[in-house]
Amino acid sequence: MLTPDQAKTMLSLQHSMNTKVDPDWMQARYPYLRAVAIEGAEAIEHHGWKWWKKQELDLPQLQMELIDIWHFILSELLLRSHDNGVDPQQALHNALRASESISRVQFDDSDYKLTEIDLLSKLELLIGLSVASRIELAVFASIMADCQLDWTELFRQYVGKNVLNMFRQDKGYKSGVYKKVWNGREDNEYLVEIIHTLDASSVDFKEAIYEALEAAYPETGI
């Protein structure tokens, strides 16, 4: 499970990112769980599901989709905590603790035992739950395990992707100025290399990521 410091860092980063995109994001009440559903469908694409053509599971991209999903889950948790007047860090801790004892989920008049359904079925379940405005961290954690992603690695990749999103905004992503391809490679590829050369336990982990992205980013001639 996440440590208290990791949870605090993630929630703080998510709030900062949402505020950068829209200072009034809490009042705007964006459909974050709809975004979870869409990202879940993209994860299915990276897994491969088409029986009429050859497809191979792309694990790194599948993991990246889970990181994107986690961004939106945290955003929804922040919104709900605000609405209910509770501390978001405590709410996240309670939800994670409760999820550890959940092995089956009831949905749409069916009973899903998480140890008995495959990854594709779990992704479909995540999508359905999200459309129904339900957050079930036990389902997300089970998907993580199937994708060889533990909470420590989720933290590392989450912080990296959050910093990249912040970097994109700073460089004009919203206005269309920013380009995701640098010298023939996507910025995500640079990010993967960067986060695995840095110490995720360092207090300046996120600052070091930003500095490394800044050093790699070609300001002209992209």
Choose between 215 and 203: higher pLDDT.
215
Give mean pLDDT, residues 199-204.
87
User: pLDDT of 157-176, one tens digit each?
Assistant: 999 999 998 999 999 998 89
Beta-carbon contacts of 106 under 8 Å, excluding residues fewer than 6 positions away, are 112
Contact present, 104 and 54 (Cβ < 8 Å): no
Give mean pLDDT, residues 133-137.
97
> Which class for 207: exposed (0-12), middle (13-18), buried (19 or more C-beta within 10 A)?
exposed
In the predicted structure, residue 222 carries a pLDDT above the cut 90: no
Instruction: Find, among 35, 34, 32, 37, the residue nearest to 125 by Cα.
Output: 37
Instruction: Find, among 10, 4, 33, the residue nearest to 156 by Cα.
Output: 10
* Predicted model pTM: 0.88
In the predicted structure, residue 221 carries a pLDDT above the cut 50: no
Compute the mean pLDDT over every residue in the chain, rounded to the nearest whole number.
93
CA gap 169, 163 in Å, rounded = 10
User: pLDDT of 35-91, one tens digit each?
Assistant: 999 999 999 999 999 999 988 888 988 998 999 999 999 999 999 999 999 999 999
Task: Give, in degrees to the nearest 5, the angle at Cα 184 between 182 and 63.
Answer: 80
Using 50, 70 and 90 to split pLDDT, how confident is the model at 220? low
User: pLDDT of 61-72, one tens digit each?
Assistant: 899 899 999 999
Q: Percentage of the chain with pLDDT > 70?
A: 99
Token look-up 């989920």 returns: 105
* Amino acid identity, position 85: G
Structure tokens at 142: 């089970």
Phi, psi of 208 (to 5 degrees): -65, -35
CATH classification number, 4-148, choose in 1.10.4010.10, 2.40.30.110, 3.30.1360.20, 3.65.10.10: 1.10.4010.10
DSSP 117: S
